[in-house]
């Protein structure tokens, strides 16, 4: 995930203590059953998640999801009525989820303060990125856990990935869709609807199979540009764009870097001269050249980039930011890139 606006300061110890009293009084941290006080089969539920043990005493009724990717999974599982709030959006909501999303309060377009999150008295907190629930993000996971609020981070952001350095982390092993499917299944378990998780995974697998059927793009080279024109964030080998590229048999011109989203100069980009530019079409405004229109305007006017083959031939594929992150919308990205390569005559 690319850098967001500077987050608000983390809640002080005094405010955290006050929040703990509030949550305890409301019963969000102490219930061992469903909302009606009855025990729920399979609970308490314990999961291993991104190096932590997470215990959920009962299916959440007042959850907060602080990244769009996580929110869209929960909405796709039919859980809008159990979401108290969402935050951190780069794009319009996924097609088909508009009505469900409209009923959920959005407390911030970017990362919210911990105060805003705690004001919703959450009984569960989910995020797509480790950096969201860490120092410099909303707040470290342990601060919420001390308040009795279980936290969950997408396995796709920690499985085979090193987040200890700066930037967006580096992949120690290529991402696969299995990590996304695991997130779907685990969130469905947490909310007590495992059958919905299996149904959604089956649909996603079927879409992947359909998008890749008969495709051979082994002669095509791709570049993925997420944001920023001054120091562009481009995809390394092994994140969500790597899943797309690998499924289609194509080549990422920056598959020699394991950084998730390295910043690379335009001279280097022009030198590698990709066949196709996969462009993030974002609606947020925290970086330069967020929208696809602004990106294309830059590419076609900059003296370094306008001579590239992909620019001269206008071989652009436009994706939502979420389709370029490891989420259920990575499948959407795969479908669009496959269709683009066919249209350009670059896929057998």
The per-residue pLDDT for range 97-114, each reduced to its tens digit, is: 999 999 999 999 999 999
- Domain spanning 216-343 has what CATH number? 3.40.50.1980
Instruction: For residue 203, name the pLDDT band (cuts at 50, 70, 90).
Output: very high
Tell me the C-alpha distance between 132 and 153, whole Å.
Answer: 9
Q: Are 111 and 87 in contact (CB under 8 A)?
A: yes
Q: Are 10 and 115 in contact (CB under 8 A)?
A: no
As its CATH architecture, domain 18-29+41-206 has: 3-Layer(aba) Sandwich (3.40)
Listed in sequence order, the residues at least 6 apart from 285 whose beta carbon sits closer than 8 Å to its beta carbon are: none
The pLDDT value given to residue 119: 97
Q: Are 270 and 259 in contact (CB under 8 A)?
A: no
Phi and psi, residue 298, nearest 5°: -65, -50
Closest CA relative to residue 290, chosen from 35, 133, 89, 39: 89
Both tokens assigned to 37: 């006080």
pLDDT in tens, 23-62: 433 333 333 345 455 578 889 999 999 999 999 999 999 9
The pLDDT value given to residue 38: 59
Q: Same CATH fold, 216-343 and 18-29+41-206?
A: yes
Tell me the C-alpha distance between 37 and 122, whole Å.
Answer: 17
Q: What percent of the chain has pLDDT over 70?
A: 89
| Mean local confidence (pLDDT), 227-252 | 96
The pLDDT value given to residue 286: 79
Both tokens assigned to 61: 């009724």
Tell whether the torsion through CA atoms of 270, 272, 278 and 283 is positive or negative. negative
The pLDDT value given to residue 37: 53
261 vs 233, 238, 240, CA distance in Å?
Answer: 5, 10, 11
pLDDT in tens, 149-194: 999 999 999 999 999 887 899 999 999 999 999 999 999 999 999 9
Tell me the C-alpha distance between 97 and 5, whole Å.
Answer: 26
Instruction: For residue 1, name the pLDDT band (cuts at 50, 70, 90).
Output: low
Task: Return the domain boundaries, the chain.
Answer: 18-29+41-206, 216-343
Both tokens assigned to 124: 């569960």
The pLDDT value given to residue 18: 41
- Asked if the model's pLDDT at residue 15 lies above 80, the reply is no
Closest CA relative to residue 144, chosen from 107, 114, 101, 189: 114
| Mean local confidence (pLDDT), 126-148 | 96
The pLDDT value given to residue 170: 96
179 vs 50, 132, 319, 328, CA distance in Å?
Answer: 12, 18, 21, 10
The pLDDT value given to residue 2: 52
The terminus-to-terminus CA distance of the chain in angstroms comes to 32
Mean pLDDT for the chain overall:
90
Determine how β-strand 106-108 pairs with β-strand 124-127: unpaired
| Mean local confidence (pLDDT), 57-68 | 98
- pTM for this one? 0.88
Q: How far is CA 92 from the centre of its chain?
A: 14
Q: Are 107 and 120 in contact (CB under 8 A)?
A: yes
């Amino acid at each position: 995930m690319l850098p967001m606006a500077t987050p608000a300061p983390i809640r002080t110890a005094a405010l955290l203590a006050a929040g703990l009293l509030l949550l305890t009084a409301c019963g969000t941290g102490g219930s061992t059953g469903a909302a009606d006080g009855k025990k729920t089969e399979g609970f308490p539920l314990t999961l291993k998640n991104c190096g932590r043990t997470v215990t959920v005493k009962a299916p959440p009724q007042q959850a907060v999801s602080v990244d769009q990717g996580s929110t869209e999974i929960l909405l796709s599982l039919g859980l809008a009525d159990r979401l108290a709030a969402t935050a951190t959006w780069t794009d319009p909501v996924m097609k088909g989820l508009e009505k469900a999303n409209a009923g959920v309060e959005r407390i911030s377009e970017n990362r919210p303060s911990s105060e805003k999150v705690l004001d919703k008295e959450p009984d569960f907190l989910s995020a797509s990125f480790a950096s969201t629930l860490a120092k410099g993000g909303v707040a470290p996971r342990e601060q919420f856990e001390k308040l009795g609020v279980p936290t969950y981070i997408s396995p796709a952001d920690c499985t085979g990935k090193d987040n200890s350095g700066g930037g967006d982390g580096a992949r120690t092993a290529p991402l696969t869709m299995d990590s996304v499917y695991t997130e779907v299944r685990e969130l469905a378990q947490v909310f007590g609807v495992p059958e919905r998780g299996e149904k959604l995974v089956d649909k996603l697998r079927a879409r992947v199979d359909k998008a890749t059927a008969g495709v051979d793009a082994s002669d095509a080279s791709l570049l993925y540009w997420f944001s920023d024109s001054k120091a562009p964030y481009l995809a390394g080998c092994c994140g969500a764009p790597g899943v797309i590229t690998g499924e289609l048999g194509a080549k990422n011109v920056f598959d020699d870097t394991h950084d998730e989203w390295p910043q690379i100069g335009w001279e280097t980009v022009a030198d590698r001269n990709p066949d196709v530019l996969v462009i993030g079409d974002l609606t947020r405004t925290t970086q330069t050249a967020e929208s696809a229109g602004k990106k294309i305007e830059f590419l076609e006017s900059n003296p370094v980039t306008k001579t590239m083959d992909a620019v001269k031939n206008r071989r652009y594929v436009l994706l939502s930011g979420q389709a370029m992150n490891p989420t259920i919308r990575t499948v959407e990205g795969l479908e669009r890139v496959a269709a683009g390569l066919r249209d350009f005559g670059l896929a057998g």
